[in-house]
Structure 1
Amino acid sequence: MGVTVHASSPAAVADELKNHRPWVRWGVVSAVLVALFFLVAQPLGWILYNSFHDDQTQALTVGNYLRLFTAKGLLQPLINSIVLAFSTALLSTLLGVPLAWFVARTNMPGRSWIRLLTLAAFVTPSFIGALGWILLAAPNAGWLNGLFRAATGSASPLMNIYSMGGAIFVCAIYTVPYTFTIVASALDEMAVELEDAATTLGAGVLRTMMSVTIPMVMPAVIVGFILSFIQGMTLFGVPAFLLTPSGTAVVTTKLAEFYQLFPPEIYMAAAYCMPLILLTGGLFWVRKKILGRKRFVMIGGKSRAGRKVDLKAWRWPALAFALIVPVTAVLLPYFALVVVSLSKAWGQGPSLDNLTLHWYQWAVLDNPATQSAIVNSLAYASVSATLCVLLGTLIAYIVERRLVSGTSFIASLTNFPIIIPGIVLSVGFFAAYTQPPLNLYGTAAILVAAFVATFLPIAFSNGEATLKGISPDLERVARILGASEARTFSSITVPLMRSGLVSGWLLVFIPVMRELSVAVFLITPKTNVMTTLIYNYKDGGNYEAVAAASVLLLVGTMAVVAIAQWVNVKLARHKRDRAEAEVVQ
């Protein structure tokens, strides 16, 4: 007995699919819209609502906005934030673009290691990097300053990390991975025929790079600059560690001050969030316009994989430049953190007599707060990444397959948190869910929900990219043969997305593990995570304990990353073996 499938037009097939059990589809879409309302719309609505109310009388007012732009103590942090963000983006671009070119397009030695160590800077929380540089370059006790004084006899430090310059330096080296990754990907995908033509016509390596290569990837360079600017504008940990001791405030640390007052100025904090939202939103709009107008393409031909520019004698100077970020963002701060975590007293400097495992024993075995924070970090990050990928992938499927009308609105609402700084979203969740009827303050639920909302755009984008590589034909055939949407999605689409889902989970897990600004207003001693624990310990001045906790956070994150990568490789290998077996059959 055979099955006869009658040919029909694509429009007829689409209509048939849409008319198949519509109540299931609309039930799922309704659940998605409810989730987006609670995760995105309600917290942002509360920020806007609170910003127009007075903290004392709770009456409707525009006084918060008048105070924001007239009070010197409130306007200066905004100016400081812009200076920090622009300088961070500029330095990050100056380091990241040449680094990407050296790694992607030249025969510089050690390219794979440079790429690996540069991406390790992405895994490293920037505030932990700031902590490492406090140990290295604090004006009085920093080891590098001590060596400088011993070598030169100078009474002045080589570098004062507690300064705007120090904050710019640390922010930049931890935002370089954004520029590096974007530009290196553009270089990897770019055809090389124009470069060959320039070389044939007598252009040297430098002239070819400046007149051909960089203009071809300029959209990627600009996008990297914008992302670095936004990172510099919205970071909380680095300014809190490096600028607060010198009395220099930025927008994010000023927001924290509003909550530390008694009584806290919650409504003023909401108004203070609005310039950040408008600025980051405007920059993302510029980014979208740049990408939308991108016309730097090669027509015809394929790039010849493996072509590398021969740097000749410049290979080693190029390697010295390429080592700047790995050394300053990974090797030096990691060394400082590990040595201090193994020290009885870090001020005595590295020595065999000063070695001890006491702080790891204290953190893992003796201190209940650290034990709880380790468990909470891994649990919250795992649950958040799982929920984020499930929701993001489901939304991506609805949008990409256009199961309902209005998918552009759903996509826009899903992506909206990408323009909201983490600390601003934290303010929104505090306002929305720390009061009746839900009153979630002090629970794991409010933290997980905030993490899911913050990183949902990442999961959604990953799901969209994965689905674009999967033809809908198999889904259409299954639906025509009677399979429901749910069964088609679970039995056909999800297995084909398996490798992408693991990658998406990892892309969410890593930033959740290193996120400080989202959690800073929402944690209690019961729900502390490693990032907030380290932040609080640092104020106590016990750098040995802080370093041990930081090393544990880094090791735990990288262990989970390694396991997830191993699973991803296994899944990819299984998929390839299965495809080869089908070809043989």
Structure 2
Amino acid sequence: MARVPLARTVVFGAVALLLFLLVVLPFGWVLNNSFHDDLTGAWTLGNYARIFQSVDLLEPLFNSLLLAVATAVIAVGIGVPLAWLVSRTDLPFRRTIRVLTLTAFVTPSFIGATGWILLAAPNSGWLNALWRSLAGAEAGPLLNIYSMTGAIFICGIYTVPYSFTMVSSALDEMAVELEDAAATLGSGTLRTMLSITIPLVTPAVIASFILSFIQGLTLFGVPAFLLTPTGIPVVTTKLAEFYQLFPPEIYMAAAYCMPLLLVTAMLFWMRRRILGRKQFVTISGKSRAGRRIALGAARWPAFGAALLLPLVSVFLPYAALLLVSLTRAWGQGLSWENLSLHWYWWALFGNSETHTAIVNSLVFSTLAATLCVMLGTVVAYIVERRMVFGASLFGAVATVPIIIPGIVMSVGFFAAYTRAPLNLYGTPAAAGRGLRGDLPAHRLCSWRVDPQGHRAGAGARRPQPGCGGGTDLPVDHHPADGRRAAVGLVPGPSSPIIRELSVAVFLITPKTNVMTTLIYNAKDGGNYEAVCAMSVLLLLITLALVAAAGPLTRLTTVRRTSRKSGRKTAPAEGVLPT
């Protein structure tokens, strides 16, 4: 019997140490460095004074806020109606719309930006070339992707799936007895929606707005690709400038992260104030699908409107990337003589740097996702079973990364792991026989998805009827039984890790390049054929990981047989596309 307490002590100690290394230590270094001077190392408030006294530092903050607000408005304004159409109406090809929207979800936004550069660059973009052929050679460009409007457009369309996924999940899992009762009592569709449906999905809508806002605030790839060439700064690109200076202004960068943290913390505080203690939960038996609202004559026009998002986020940019990747020189136009698989052969076999980056991406994402699943599951088990005094603290620390923007923690990882005694940055460490990796990169990626693993594991053990809500942020967790734990399977977390750029660009060294950083670096060289080939390969790998999560989800799903009735209970729908 003595072995059990000892084993528990070891596990609790290991979990506490990992959470300290992944969350507490990096954030502590960000906070500590922000109060130090880069030249003397002395304690100072000068960094904060410089931020609010310098126009060059205030302008990126205002630009980032503008980008974030516009991104969140677009995401909610499009994602919520689209989720309602797919979940509650007789829209044609609903499953196809859902799959295409989730395809946009797993598409890295900076790769989408690359596709739209090919389509809407003011001089060479194909859509502008088509416009000039119709309006005359002297006509100005119809579209200019190198602008704040272009950045808002790209950030918005690739953030819509956040709100779509969360709201559609809430609608799909909502117990519909209240809606049916209202309809039976003569309530019209609009009144039922305003009085019942919308209040029940309010937590998901607010949460999706917050996450979309944070996404727009902390993205690095899209502003770097679209705004840097025009000289429009945002916080993330300004942070990169601090690191590119000689000597780098690391302490100033830490202070410059604080406004991001302040804004996100205020958003979560406002959410708690708005929702208060409301749980938005319906107590009922097994939920079932509600009646589909007939759209009538608007059915096919609504389908056309629903296709606009996949058109601009998937079809057009994917086609542009694929066509350019299949040409030896895309400036020579499309012809049989110019078509070639040269750049794919170059990326896979002809260039050691790209081959290494592909291997690194797969290894790093697998290791990070494995750590995420293991740590998240153990934390969830400890918290839900309250196995130790202060167990809720484990859950709170594991959930903190939802609030802290990833780019802020990347600065913390840089500070924490580039100094003695750890000094791990840029040091290849054994990650497996014959495979090496950068430890800070592994830890950072694991940290970024650990809240999802924690929430998934918690949901598998604690049924949450209705659409959830309360005081927790419903990030991909509206679980009813064991299938929700599949969100934490390795292929699920691997897909966001392998396409991460905003944080990886601050930690990766030339020896530990991954595909995203290699694409980012190659884009500056102007070799769009190589960039597009690597982008297509990254998309294929990401989609393959997401597709693999479906069968694994089904394999790990346990159909429970009720002892009383002998009926089998089917698992709830997961958030991963199957």
Report if the CA contact (8 A) 2:452-2:488 is conserved.
Answer: no
Report if the CA contact (8 A) 1:459-1:505 is conserved.
Answer: no
Hey, what does 2:338 align to over in structure 1?
Answer: 354
Alignment partner of 2:532 out of 532, 547, 550: 547
Q: Cα distance 1:307–1:292, how it changes in 2: closer, same or farther (>3 A)?
A: same
Hey, what does 1:148 align to over in structure 2?
Answer: 131
Aligned to 2:524, the other structure's residue is in SS state helix
Hey, what does 2:503 align to over in structure 1?
Answer: 518
Hey, what does 2:117 align to over in structure 1?
Answer: 134
Report if the CA contact (8 A) 1:462-1:504 is conserved.
Answer: no
* Amino acid corresponding to residue 63 of structure 1 in structure 2: G
Q: 1:317-336, aligned counterparts within 5 Å?
A: 317-336=301-320
Alignment partner of 2:462 out of 463, 468, 472: 468
Q: 1:89-488, aligned counterparts within 5 Å?
A: 89-153=72-136, 155-192=139-176, 195=179, 205=189, 208-210=192-194, 212-290=196-274, 293-294=277-278, 296-298=280-282, 304-443=288-427, 444-468=438-462
Hey, what does 1:48 align to over in structure 2?
Answer: 31
1:522-547 C-alpha deviation (Å, 9 max, x unpaired): 11121000000000001111111000
Alignment partner of 1:85 out of 60, 68, 88: 68
Report if the CA contact (8 A) 2:38-2:249 is conserved.
Answer: yes
Report if the CA contact (8 A) 2:97-2:307 is conserved.
Answer: yes
Is 2:61 aligned against 1:67? no
Aligned to 1:540, the other structure's residue is in SS state coil
- Name the CA distance, whole Å, in 2 between partners of 1:284 and 1:510: 26
- Name the CA distance, whole Å, in 1 between partners of 2:266 and 2:487: 32
Report if the CA contact (8 A) 2:486-2:556 is conserved.
Answer: no
Q: What is the CA-CA distance between 1:295 and the residue it aligns to?
A: 5.2
Q: Cα distance 1:429–1:295, how it changes in 2: closer, same or farther (>3 A)?
A: closer
Bigger helix fraction: 1
Report if the CA contact (8 A) 1:396-1:464 is conserved.
Answer: yes
Q: What is the CA-CA distance between 1:204 and the residue it aligns to?
A: 5.8
Structure 1 regions of 5+ residues with no counterpart? 1-16, 471-495
Q: Cα distance 1:554–1:21, how it changes in 2: closer, same or farther (>3 A)?
A: same
Q: Cα distance 1:442–1:88, how it changes in 2: closer, same or farther (>3 A)?
A: same
Aligned to 2:550, the other structure's residue is in SS state helix
Q: Which has the larger radius of gyration?
A: 1
Q: What is the CA-CA distance between 1:205 and the residue it aligns to?
A: 4.7
- Name the CA distance, whole Å, in 1 between partners of 2:549 and 2:535: 21
Aligned to 1:520, the other structure's residue is in SS state helix
Q: Cα distance 1:318–1:394, how it changes in 2: closer, same or farther (>3 A)?
A: same
1:496-545 C-alpha deviation (Å, 9 max, x unpaired): 96982564423311110111122111111210000000000011111110
Runs in 1 of length 4+ with deviation above 6 angstroms? 200-203, 496-499, 577-580
Report if the CA contact (8 A) 2:321-2:536 is conserved.
Answer: yes
1:41-93 C-alpha deviation (Å, 9 max, x unpaired): 11111111111111111111110000011100001100111110001111111
Hey, what does 1:535 align to over in structure 2?
Answer: 520
Q: Cα distance 1:200–1:469, how it changes in 2: closer, same or farther (>3 A)?
A: closer
* Amino acid corresponding to residue 502 of structure 2 in structure 1: S
- Name the CA distance, whole Å, in 2 between partners of 1:337 and 1:278: 38
* Amino acid corresponding to residue 376 of structure 2 in structure 1: G
Q: What is the CA-CA distance between 1:330 and the residue it aligns to?
A: 1.1
Aligned to 1:276, the other structure's residue is in SS state helix
Q: What is the CA-CA distance between 1:167 and the residue it aligns to?
A: 0.6
> How many residues end up aligned between the 2 structures?
539
TM-score of the pair, normalised by structure 2: 0.88
Hey, what does 2:473 align to over in structure 1?
Answer: none
- Name the CA distance, whole Å, in 1 between partners of 2:385 and 2:529: 53
* Amino acid corresponding to residue 119 of structure 1 in structure 2: L
Report if the CA contact (8 A) 1:143-1:349 is conserved.
Answer: no
Q: What is the CA-CA distance between 1:213 and the residue it aligns to?
A: 3.3
* Amino acid corresponding to residue 415 of structure 1 in structure 2: T
- Name the CA distance, whole Å, in 2 between partners of 1:197 and 1:466: 30
Q: What is the CA-CA distance between 1:561 and the residue it aligns to?
A: 2.4
- Name the CA distance, whole Å, in 2 between partners of 1:237 and 1:340: 20
Hey, what does 2:547 align to over in structure 1?
Answer: 562
Report if the CA contact (8 A) 1:219-1:290 is conserved.
Answer: no
Percent of aligned pairs with the same amino acid: 62
- Name the CA distance, whole Å, in 2 between partners of 1:437 and 1:20: 33
Report if the CA contact (8 A) 2:492-2:546 is conserved.
Answer: no
Structure 2 regions of 5+ residues with no counterpart? 428-437, 465-480, 568-578
Q: What is the CA-CA distance between 1:194 and the residue it aligns to?
A: 5.2
* Amino acid corresponding to residue 415 of structure 2 in structure 1: A
Q: Cα distance 1:55–1:81, how it changes in 2: closer, same or farther (>3 A)?
A: same
- Name the CA distance, whole Å, in 2 between partners of 1:203 and 1:538: 56
Report if the CA contact (8 A) 2:64-2:216 is conserved.
Answer: yes
Aligned to 2:337, the other structure's residue is in SS state helix
Q: What is the CA-CA distance between 1:23 and the residue it aligns to?
A: 2.4
Aligned to 2:158, the other structure's residue is in SS state helix
Q: Cα distance 1:357–1:63, how it changes in 2: closer, same or farther (>3 A)?
A: same
- Name the CA distance, whole Å, in 2 between partners of 1:341 and 1:371: 17
- Name the CA distance, whole Å, in 2 between partners of 1:529 and 1:285: 36
- Name the CA distance, whole Å, in 1 between partners of 2:214 and 2:31: 21
Range that drifts further, 159-168 or 280-289: 280-289
- Name the CA distance, whole Å, in 2 between partners of 1:67 and 1:423: 21
Aligned to 2:457, the other structure's residue is in SS state helix
Range that drifts further, 193-202 or 420-429: 193-202
Q: Cα distance 1:397–1:213, how it changes in 2: closer, same or farther (>3 A)?
A: closer
Aligned to 1:438, the other structure's residue is in SS state coil
Report if the CA contact (8 A) 2:330-2:529 is conserved.
Answer: yes
- Name the CA distance, whole Å, in 2 between partners of 1:37 and 1:100: 38
Report if the CA contact (8 A) 2:261-2:404 is conserved.
Answer: yes
- Name the CA distance, whole Å, in 1 between partners of 2:183 and 2:331: 55
- Name the CA distance, whole Å, in 2 between partners of 1:254 and 1:218: 35
Range that drifts further, 284-293 or 360-369: 284-293
Hey, what does 2:10 align to over in structure 1?
Answer: 27
Report if the CA contact (8 A) 1:103-1:184 is conserved.
Answer: yes
Aligned to 1:410, the other structure's residue is in SS state helix
Q: What is the CA-CA distance between 1:265 and the residue it aligns to?
A: 0.6
Alignment partner of 1:571 out of 538, 556, 561: 556
Q: Cα distance 1:563–1:47, how it changes in 2: closer, same or farther (>3 A)?
A: same
- Name the CA distance, whole Å, in 2 between partners of 1:206 and 1:94: 18
* Amino acid corresponding to residue 64 of structure 1 in structure 2: N
RMSD: 2.6
Aligned to 1:108, the other structure's residue is in SS state coil
